[in-house]
Amino acid sequence: MSHLETTNREFAEQHMNIVLGRLAGPDAHPRGDQVDAVHAVLQPASRVLVVQATGWGKSAVYWAATHALRHSGAGPTLVVSPLLALMRDQVTAAERAGLTAATVNSTNFDEWDEVFRQLDNNTLDVLLVSPERLGNTRFAARLGELLARVGLIVIDEAHCISDWGFDFRPDYQRLARALLSTPTASVLATTATANERVTKDVSDQLGAHTVTYRGTLARTSLTLSVVPGLTPLKRYAWIADALEQLPGSGIIYVLTVAEADKLAAFLASCGHKVDAYTGQLDGDSRIAIEERLRNNEIKAVIATSALGMGYDKPDLGFCVHVGSPSTPVAYYQQVGRAGRAVAHADGVLLPSDADERIWEYFATASIPDPKSADKVLASIAEQPRTLMEIESETGLRRGRLEALLKILAVEGVVEKVGTAWATTGERYVHNTAKWADLAKVRATEADIMRKYAHGEGCLMAFLQIALDDPSPAACGRCSVCTGNIPFPGGEPSHDKLMLARAFMRGTDADIEPRKQWPKGVSRKGNIVALNAGRAVAFADDPGWSVELSELARSRPGEIPQVMLDGAVATLGRWSKVWGTRPTAVVPLPALDMRSNRQLAEHIAKVGKLPMHDVFTWTGGAIPDDAASTPVVAHLETVLTITADHELPRGPVLFVTTDVRTRWTATVAGAMLRAQGIPAVLLLALHLRP
């Protein structure tokens, strides 16, 4: 090493020591590879990739590099961060490191002018932005000027820019490409969750001269366990028992917003201090929950993936998953939140029977379908169209359409023009080999998670192998290595199980009425159809999972008695808030009416109401996995009201075994309202997501 290189490394180590002392105390000492990474970043126009386990100190590297660069007279650091919670924590950490930091995101528009003023005056050391900012014209207009000024660009959670990453985000990749175009600033990309394929992809995007620092991903402080064979109801009861024994405070991950709310409500009813945290919360509510967890004011946060990357609470004592994420890399990213600064923490997986369906969805969600791409491009070939217009014309479901448009935007084929989408003139070439390879990778990842959930080997080694750790080894601590299932063991207590059953069966699901007709059908504007709706069970409802499986296996017209009783109980609770009483029961029209008729007859008998079987279905089934327009158009052709049937004059109760899109009930309800029915209420056994 030359004298100059020695001096440069000493300079890097000096600033690493300053920053680490502020972040972790005067007794903290940097790792040698941390100093090496800072030294590499300080080279002119460098490209550096750091792949290290959560808790290794990746953020200390970019704060130390920023501290050194600003000391040398360089411009501010621009950090691209994927989540608001992560940005808030990073602003706090940067300020603890002695840096002035601010963020530009979707929740603080009123602060943007002050942030830009600080940039203009060179008084801001760190600016954090979300990947969606590139789509904002106000921010995009300043991007060129900003890139000419910055000394360092940090792409945090860099696996998000890789097609092969578990959490690929087209907006993130598009912004990263724009930032990588700068010829003068150094670029540092960091992640804790990248296997060899993702590492190579990110490295290739950074450039040919990228320096990569990669270490072992094993976590000696984390004890992993799998508790197999629990029904959904038993999982809830198991968690209620476990929270009485799990150390410290932690996170319980679930897969849906509805389950986060329901599990939090059940645990609260058992006396546990918990909060639900989902993407539907506003910014202030999220901050409040994050702080309550950080200050150990609550035992657990019941969270979707909205609380994920970068949330900084080093002393989290546990992380429990109710159902498996779709990839081992995603699981490692979430479970790695626990045990960062404590000697022992627990990561527990409670597998779900629904996991396989979720894996299948995520295996294809980020892969474009060439026929769908052709439909979209044809629909906007002549003029820009809004998302709703494209949906109506192509028949693609909204979620799939939005994902496809983002991918086409990354490919440079489409662009956003105001609220509409337009073609750019670039021809779309579907990379069949690439997407086929990605589908195979997703299938392989699902198989790894399947084996992990079945306990077919050391759990930590499974995750290390999945992430291509250079030195995987059996941990000797997990439930597979020791044979010990933690806390309540393999079965919850009888008391908690009974509490869970009573709670779940006393909680109904609202069915939100549709509000507007889609474009391209005969009906226009606001919908006047259903007044309200209620379902006995939603999705894979823990309180009804066994009965829902039995219902799915039963022959038409043979609804299990326990589900019929559940419908009556739901009706009794719901009727207290109606303010009106139905005058008749009507089975919801369906291709096969037998089960709906059986349910309607039962409700009519119990409620001493007449049943009016007034609808006829003439034609085929609803198009599968189609957008709203073709579904409604089909319903308008197959549904009729029997001409000679005398309709009731008062409110009507629609009943059905199953609801998903709500369009059948909406179209049929509109037909009843057009006949003079004053109100239409909907009761379903099962509301599917």
Does 457 have pLDDT greater than 50?
yes
**Alpha-carbon distance 123 to 76, whole Å?**
9
Q: Whose CA is closest to 460, among 445, 471, 447?
A: 471
**Looking at per-residue confidence, does 137 or 656 come out higher?**
656
**Structure confidence by residue, pLDDT tens digits, 325-369:** 878 878 888 888 888 778 889 999 999 877 777 777 666 767 889
**Alpha-carbon distance 203 to 209, whole Å?**
9
Cβ atoms within 10 Å, residue 480: 22
**Alpha-carbon distance 675 to 649, whole Å?**
9
Cβ atoms within 10 Å, residue 101: 23
Question: Average pLDDT for residues 149-163, to the nearest whole number?
Answer: 88
Does 58 have pLDDT greater than 50?
yes
**Structure confidence by residue, pLDDT tens digits, 463-508:** 888 888 877 889 999 999 999 988 788 889 999 999 999 998 888 8
**pLDDT value at position 429?**
92
Among 298-307, 438-447, 587-596, the least confident range: 438-447
**Are 42 and 186 within 8 A, CB to CB?**
yes
Tokens standing for residue 281: 């919360």
Does 282 have pLDDT greater than 50?
yes
User: What is the sign of the dihedral through the CA atoms of 257, 297, 221 and 214?
Assistant: positive
Does 667 have pLDDT greater than 90?
yes
Q: How confident is the model at residue 446 (pLDDT cuts 50, 70, 90)?
A: confident
**Structure confidence by residue, pLDDT tens digits, 12-57:** 999 999 999 998 888 888 888 899 999 999 999 999 999 988 778 8
Q: How confident is the model at residue 7 (pLDDT cuts 50, 70, 90)?
A: low
**pLDDT value at position 308?**
66
In the chain, % helix, strand, coil (3-state, to 5) comes to 45, 15, 40
**pLDDT value at position 4?**
40
- The residue type found at 47 is R
DSSP output for 432-480: HHHHHHHHHHHHHHHHHHHHHHTT-S-HHHHHHHHTT-SS----S-SHH
**Alpha-carbon distance 504 to 263, whole Å?**
9
Q: How far, CA to CA in Å, does 548 sit from each of 88, 361, 524, 566, 660? A: 42, 21, 36, 11, 15
**Alpha-carbon distance 493 to 298, whole Å?**
23
Burial class of 323 by CB neighbour count within 10 A (0 to 12, 13 to 18, 19+): buried
**Alpha-carbon distance 623 to 630, whole Å?**
7
* b/e code 64-75 from CB counts within 10 Å (16+ = b): bbbbbbbeeebb
**Alpha-carbon distance 476 to 114, whole Å?**
53
**Looking at per-residue confidence, does 109 or 290 come out higher?**
290
Does 3 have pLDDT greater than 50?
no
Side-chain half-sphere CA neighbours of 640 within 13 A: 9
Q: How confident is the model at residue 309 (pLDDT cuts 50, 70, 90)?
A: low
**Alpha-carbon distance 655 to 600, whole Å?**
6
Helix (H) or strand (E) holding 11: helix 3-24
DSSP output for 505-538: HT--EE-PPP-BPPTTSSS-SB--S--EEEEEEE
Q: Whose CA is closest to 490, among 320, 317, 338, 350?
A: 350
Tokens standing for residue 94: 């940067």
E strands, 564-611, are 584-587
Q: Whose CA is closest to 373, among 423, 339, 441?
A: 423
**Structure confidence by residue, pLDDT tens digits, 499-555:** 999 998 888 889 999 998 988 899 999 999 999 899 999 888 888 888 898 999 999
**pLDDT value at position 396?**
84
Helix (H) or strand (E) holding 372: helix 370-379
Question: Average pLDDT for residues 304-310, to the nearest whole number?
Answer: 74
**Looking at per-residue confidence, does 154 or 169 come out higher?**
154
- Domains of the chain (ranges plus CATH)? 3-214 (3.40.50.300), 222-358+450-503 (3.40.50.300), 369-429 (1.10.10.10), 509-687 (3.40.50)
Q: How confident is the model at residue 289 (pLDDT cuts 50, 70, 90)?
A: very high
Helices 628-638, 387-394: inter-axial angle, 10-degree rounding = 50
Tokens standing for residue 619: 């034609």
Residues 644, 650, 654, CA angle at the centre, nearest 5°? 75
Which residues on neighbouring strands pair with residue 277, listed in sequence order?
303
Q: How confident is the model at residue 85 (pLDDT cuts 50, 70, 90)?
A: low
**pLDDT value at position 340?**
76
Quick one: DSSP state of residue 345? E
Q: Pick from 134-148, 241-255, 453-467 the range whose average pLDDT is largest.
A: 241-255
Question: Average pLDDT for residues 570-595, to the nearest whole number?
Answer: 90
Output the average pLDDT for the chain: 88
pTM of the model: 0.75
